[in-house]
């Protein structure tokens, strides 16, 4: 539907792809591939096209629906909850998508076995992941607490610059009054969440759901008793983690190590 609307709007405006390229500063071939549904843009592209066509955010809204298709089916329901959550508590064994820079996201996503779509498919996934971070900037923004396992911070990207920028982005994100970041050091020892990552999401109506995630699978949990047990496990891990100031100092030390 997004691709159809992009082509329809351009044809109704009487613009050629070359003219649209001049208006938006985006490559003509790239714009053509958006119109044929071969590619999924990033959010700024849709905002630029909404401005050109004066469509009042229609393309941006369609884009938000279209990007859902990039994610595997088992994540979709979780993403719908996450997009509406007022409070998020996460324990992560890897840098979560909500904190990834574009370059680091590309590294992470390219580590998976190549799909039929090749590089285009990769860029679509990167665009979708970056678009997902939009929820952090909505009004009002969600209150987020992320506990990063030390393992997530000890597996750098091969490119040192990419890794330094990623660590700096985490530190910068922690400056938001709505974001708390903690580190669970190895020395904290064993705990109940070692088998995977956990997200706890509180919706505006007070409902809480949990999402357990492995490297290739995920499970949404909404039963009150099961969610209560996972909340207890999370609270225990939080008690074992470094305090927020100590956590930031820990990450900044890793940044210094990466420059040496």
**Angle CA(112)–CA(104)–CA(220) in degrees, nearest 5?**
60
What was the pLDDT predicted at 15? 94
Rounded CA gap, 92 and 147, in Å? 6
Domains annotated on the chain, with CATH: 2-68 (1.10.260.40), 73-259 (3.30.870)
* Range in 38-42, 99-103, 138-142 with the lowest mean pLDDT: 38-42
pTM: 0.75
Any bridge partners for residue 208, and if so which? 202
Does residue 198 sit in helix, strand or coil?
strand
Does residue 114 sit in helix, strand or coil?
coil
**Sheet of 218-221, strand order:** 179-184, 143-149, 87-92, 197-202, 208-213, 218-221
Q: What is the mean pLDDT of residues 107-116?
A: 76
What was the pLDDT predicted at 259? 80
What was the pLDDT predicted at 165? 96
Find the distance separating the first CA and the last CA of the chain, reported in whole Å. Answer: 50
Where are the alpha helices (H) located in 26-72, listed in sequence order? 28-35, 43-53, 58-68
Residue among 208, 141, 230 at smallest CA distance from 180: 141
Whether 7 contacts 35, CB under 8 Å: yes
Surface-to-core class of residue 243, CB atoms within 10 Å of its CB (0-12 exposed, 13-18 middle, 19+ buried): exposed
User: What are the tens digits of pLDDT across the range 117-152?
Assistant: 445 578 888 988 898 899 999 999 999 999 999 999
Residue 243, pLDDT > 80, answer: yes
Mean pLDDT for the chain overall: 90
User: What are the tens digits of pLDDT across the range 206-226?
Assistant: 999 999 988 667 888 888 889
Top mean pLDDT of 24-38, 40-54, 154-168 is at 154-168
Residue 116, pLDDT > 70, answer: no
What was the pLDDT predicted at 223? 84
Rounded CA gap, 146 and 242, in Å? 12
Token pair 């076995």: residue: 113
Phi/psi at 137 (5° precision): -110, 10
């Amino acid at each position: 539907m997004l691709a159809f609307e992009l082509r329809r709007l351009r044809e109704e405006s009487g613009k050629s792809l070359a003219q649209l390229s001049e208006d938006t500063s985006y490559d003509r071939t790239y714009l053509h591939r958006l119109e044929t549904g071969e590619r999924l843009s990033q959010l700024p592209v849709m905002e630029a096209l909404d401005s050109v066509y004066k469509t009042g955010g229609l393309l941006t809204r369609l884009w938000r629906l279209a990007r859902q298709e990039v994610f595997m089916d088992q994540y979709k329901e979780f993403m719908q909850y996450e997009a509406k959550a007022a409070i998020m508590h996460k324990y992560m064994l890897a840098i979560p998508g909500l904190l990834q820079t574009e370059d680091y996201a590309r590294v992470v996503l390219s580590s998976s076995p190549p799909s039929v779509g090749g590089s285009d498919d990769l860029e679509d996934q990167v665009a979708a992941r970056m678009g997902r971070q939009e929820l952090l900037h909505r009004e009002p923004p969600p209150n987020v607490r992320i506990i990063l396992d030390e393992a997530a911070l000890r597996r750098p990207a091969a490119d040192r610059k990419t890794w330094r920028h990623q660590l700096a982005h985490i530190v910068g994100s922690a400056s938001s009054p709505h974001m708390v970041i903690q580190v669970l050091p190895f020395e904290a020892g064993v705990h109940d969440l070692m088998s995977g990552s956990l997200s706890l999401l509180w919706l505006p109506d007070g409902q809480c759901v949990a999402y357990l995630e492995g490297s290739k699978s995920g499970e949404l949990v909404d039963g009150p008793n099961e969610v209560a047990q996972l909340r207890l496990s999370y609270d225990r891990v939080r008690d074992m983690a470094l305090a927020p100031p100590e956590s930031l100092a820990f990450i900044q030390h890793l940044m210094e190590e990466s420059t040496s």
